[in-house]
Structure 1
Amino acid sequence: MAETQGAIGSSSRSEMIAQDDNLFYLHHSDIPSACLVSQPLTGDNYETWRRAMTMALLAKNKMSFVDGSLPKPTSPASLVISWERCNNMVISWLLNAIHKPLMPTVVYAKEAAFVWKELKIRFTQSNAPRLYQIQQQIINCKQGQSPISIYYTRIKGLWDEYDAYVTPPVCDCGAIKKLTEIQERDKLIQFLMSLNESYGPIRSQILLMEPMPDTPRLMPYWFKNKDSESFIFHFSLTLSLRQLP
């Protein structure tokens, strides 16, 4: 009996995996009125919209309908029907994720790949202006009256957006690791520079650490320890324990 139930369970899992791998599979929750992203495309948010939409389409295994890697088949008829059904579904998702004033240019498109390409041509701009804006925002990002958690969330969002625009070089040497360490050090310095002066003692102690820690590893200690001495003690102790064999 147990063996039979195990065989049935294994068969069901195999069927589910097969469905997920099927580019033409649509779940019963996949409906034309679904909105896959929280913020619609307005024009100036194209890069963040494209990233969010790409993740959503990849999750639904439908990215191939917009990137041109799955053109419309010519036969058999059943495959053509399946492709058209999925293509129309993806078009509906794209239209639902676009601000209404922008829809007239793509609403009559017959293929999702055309909509995707049209939006890219229309709204893709040089990265330099946006990188300039992000750098300015990072410089002007101060803690002010905000708690550490809110301040860190703001500046980390700017770091992540900047990194999304900049493609790192690819190599097998150790230079990439060193470059990453330098970038993390620079982020930590940016974070510390804009803290309130009440965190001056903590900032001074962190800058004296060798090697300097990265910002994410520091965050739990900001929340648990309110004064500089307990912060430095607990963080230094943790680093020492991690270095033990």
Structure 2
Amino acid sequence: MASADQASSNLVLDPVDSSDSNELNPNPYCLKSGDNPGSILVTELLIGRINYPSWSRVMVIALTAKNKIEFINGVIGKPEANSPLYKAWTLANTMVLSWIYNSVNKNIKSSVMYNETTRQNNLLVSDYFTNFKTLTDELMNCDPLPECSCGAMRILTEKFEKDCVMKFLMGLNENYAAIRTQVLMAEPMPDLNKVYSMVLHEEMQKNISSSSSSEIEAAALYSNVSAKPNSGNRYGNRKERPICSHCGI
């Protein structure tokens, strides 16, 4: 994925200036005078799985027309806080989030509003799982699976559980890439609680390994210091007397 600095190395940094954008190389960070966080870009509001495909298509078209599609397709990522692009990114990204939020039915807005908490970031695995499970349960309450007495209900439930596992894995930090791959290759795929236990165990192993490495490094440092002559000993730094090669004295 391209970084924000790489993707925008040739772009100006003023985010609210319609004159800084040209027709051949429009600046995605630029906010036009008509851009408003209260605007609704699409007439069809997202109400859940039932209309997501059609809603997603018109939303992509609308954001492309606004020259903001790169904020959601991964081309423009979040820059470092000390980057000259950080302020421009924050303004433009917030505008995009507002447009998406305004295009979602009120019953599921809370899940969209707190979407960032479904990523681990600096959280412990247990805290990340708690946040993830809370939002998943809230989404299920707002948009429950249809009631059905036939076998299709079991298929829908299994698909929902599999989607939850996938989203949980994708929200983990990159240092859990190995356990993520292990779960994705498992057949059948374990359920969410089992995956949580596996990731929690991996976190414990990482902590133990890190602690052991620190102890070994400390012991090695102590050993090196202890092996050095004591500078307080008057004989510690005494040099051997030179011996004459002729008489041996």
TM-score (norm 2): 0.37
If each structure's helix is expressed as a fraction of its own residues, which one has the higher value? 1
Q: Which has more radius of gyration?
A: 2
